[in-house]
Structure 1
Amino acid sequence: MNALNIQQGASSHSAYDLRDPNSQVEERHTLAVLVENEPGVLARVIGLFSGRGYNIDSLTVAEVDHTGHQSRITMVTSGTPAVIEQIKAQLGRIVPVHEVHDLTVEGASVERELGLFKVCGQGDKRVEALRIAEIFRANVVDSTLESFVFELVGTPSKLDAFADLMRPLGLKELARTGVAAIARGV
């Protein structure tokens, strides 16, 4: 928030889009890209990032229109406002790309991620792991005498917090799907 209590970058349609395009501060952005579902498209999109030294923090891809042969790529990346604008412009120039949406600036969106956590422990550590899992509303999807596998769906920060609490209790392995995101409203 700034001094006027106006959220910066609230919407690209807002009169209060106050993001400084010359800022050197790194911002996290969630991009949704609608592409043709054909071989090599994902490689071209990823090549754009690797060829310019940009990082992808999260990447999910799935077919969203079987009859129209379209897939949706949801990616989370970080960069200065100028870098983010450059990424969006370059993505839009790739031929099989139909639409590029920056969910971070286009308004409110919902982000979720699935994580599987293998926690090994005995005695009090097992009881504590189950107690924390209940607080986070994680499901036990596998259980042995030595370990649990928890399933947790939530924001990336919720999964990070759960992992941080499980590490001292015996977190042995972690698998995450990456962020799936969609704009709120109509």
Structure 2
Amino acid sequence: MRHVLAGRRTGELYVIRWTLGLEALQRGLAAFDYRYDRLHQISKYHRMALHLAIMRRLNEEEDNSVKFSNGLTAVFYALASGAPSVILSGINPHSAGHFYNGAGARRLHAETDLVLIEELRRRGAPIFTADPDVARMTGLDLWSAKSDVYATATGGLLKLMREQIDGYGRARDRKTDPRRYT
């Protein structure tokens, strides 16, 4: 992944499940000249809270059979943030491997991702794909500019989801790292 990001920059950088501390993360990113305006760490507990807020059930990711991808974490985050539509690009539950390497290793979360995508589609979540093959395989609508007419969640529901995500993540992180939210 480093060779893809080397020398690039972004505004908001969300790093998922980094456990070695903020300073180590900052040093690691600087080592291959990846720059950002704001850096956010998303812990396992934040992922669990996002899953709970969007899917309405807890997923503790106790083993690989129930873990979901970072791509689905981004989908949950977008929905929880009130995005009027979420367009999947580069997320294909039926693919092997990852775009940034040629190893073709089996993706451990592919089945979980597919189940979650299908459930969100059945519920009418504003999720689309930019990939015709993914649209065909998942039943998601293919995104077009006209897709953006979908309404977002009401302000009250959105506020509740944000509080649930933030509160759950802070409470669980405080148990594992008491310095984190002081």
**TM-score category, normalised to shorter length:** under 0.3
Q: Determine which structure has greater relative contact order: mean sequence separation of CA pairs < 8 Å that are 6+ residues apart, divided by chain length.
A: 1
Q: 1 or 2, which has the higher strand percentage? A: 1
Structure with the greater alpha carbon radius of gyration: 1
- Report the TM-score, using the length of structure 1 for normalisation: 0.23
Q: 1 or 2, which has the higher helix percentage? A: 2
